[in-house]
């Protein structure tokens, strides 16, 4: 994996561009849920930096979408699992925008192979937890340190996109479930640490969302929708998650932190 930091500022750069707009950093913003979040935030007045592994046409589509809505757009090529690169990623964003007002932890990977819990290999376990948990934790730490060191005229916030797998067990995806199960605790820990500083920390917990990551199991899920798996009986869309994130980051929930918002059509509601 290429861990070098590369930048493409499609909206240009220079004094005064985007001045006064809050700045968001969305990890894994190249496509899917990350793209939807980045564009939704741009539509609500943010300049947006995105990170991802690949600098390709998918990333360019996201950048153009941000720019279409009036935001400046920055791409930083990075591997979230490479914790040593996080400081360079944050510094690259700060060199472009001077501050980060909002961090959206969206980047993550699925289980390399779905299969028997008894066949999970240490390499796959380490890879998934290294990105989804370790990488997310240390990226949050790096951005939180910056937020505490620089004043901003805008509300600050941190939102982590986790999964219903934080609480719902799928034995064929053990390492993925374990990586997501730790994120609610991470959210609570950072919420407590940053509460006195006025920086709320939230978790958004999507259910079955139509994205490139779920394309390979689409038929399986669609069959189960007919069996009542999801009370709302449909796919969630990336835009559903994006709108939830946008509601949390704007500063309107001034006495809330550490909260979880489930975007799953009722999937996780215990029922019989």
What are the residue numbers of the active site?
176
Rounded-to-integer distance, Cα 104 and Cα 38, Å: 9
Q: In angstroms, what CA-CA distances link 153 with 93, 101, 156, 209?
A: 18, 9, 9, 34
Helical axes 174-181 vs 183-194, angle rounded to 10°: 20
Token pair recorded at residue 88? 């360079």
Please classify residue 43 by burial: count the beta carbons closer than 10 Å to its beta carbon, then call 0-12 exposed, 13-18 middle and 19+ buried: middle
Give me the DSSP letters along 28-79. T-SSHHHHHHHHHHHHTT-EEEEEES--SHHHHHHHHHHHHTT--EEEEE--
Please classify residue 134 by burial: count the beta carbons closer than 10 Å to its beta carbon, then call 0-12 exposed, 13-18 middle and 19+ buried: middle
Please classify residue 196 by burial: count the beta carbons closer than 10 Å to its beta carbon, then call 0-12 exposed, 13-18 middle and 19+ buried: exposed
Neighbouring CB atoms inside 10 A of 210's CB total 18
Rounded-to-integer distance, Cα 13 and Cα 219, Å: 45
Q: In angstroms, what CA-CA distances link 44 with 28, 48, 123?
A: 20, 11, 41
* Helix, strand or coil, per DSSP, at residue 131: helix
Rounded-to-integer distance, Cα 125 and Cα 77, Å: 24
């Amino acid at each position: 994996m290429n861990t070098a930091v590369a930048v493409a500022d499609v909206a240009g750069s220079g004094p005064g561009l985007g001045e006064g707009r809050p700045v968001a950093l969305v990890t894994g913003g190249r496509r899917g849920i990350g793209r939807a979040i980045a564009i939704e935030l741009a539509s609500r007045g943010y300049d947006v930096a995105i990170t991802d592994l690949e600098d390709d046409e998918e990333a360019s589509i996201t950048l153009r979408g941000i720019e279409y809505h009036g935001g400046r757009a920055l791409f930083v090529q990075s591997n979230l699992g490479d914790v040593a690169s996080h400081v360079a990623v944050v510094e690259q964003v700060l060199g472009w925008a001077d501050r980060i007002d909002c961090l959206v932890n969206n980047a993550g990977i699925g289980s390399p192979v779905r299969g028997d819990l008894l066949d999970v290999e240490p390499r796959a376990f380490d890879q998934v937890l290294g990105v989804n948990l370790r990488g997310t934790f240390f990226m949050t730490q790096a951005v939180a340190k910056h937020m505490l060191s620089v004043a901003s005229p805008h509300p600050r916030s941190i939102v982590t996109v986790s999964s219903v797998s934080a609480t719902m067990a799928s034995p064929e995806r053990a390492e993925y479930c374990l990586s997501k199960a730790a994120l609610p605790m991470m959210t609570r820990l950072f919420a407590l640490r940053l509460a006195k500083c006025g920086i709320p920390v939230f978790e958004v917990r999507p259910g079955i969302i139509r994205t490139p990551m779920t394309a390979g199991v689409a038929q399986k899920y669609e069959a189960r929708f007919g069996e009542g798996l999801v009370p709302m009986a449909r796919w969630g869309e990336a835009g559903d998650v994006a709108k939830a994130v946008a509601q949390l980051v704007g500063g309107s929930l001034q006495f809330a932190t550490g909260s979880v918002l489930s975007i799953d059509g009722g999937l996780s509601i215990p029922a019989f």
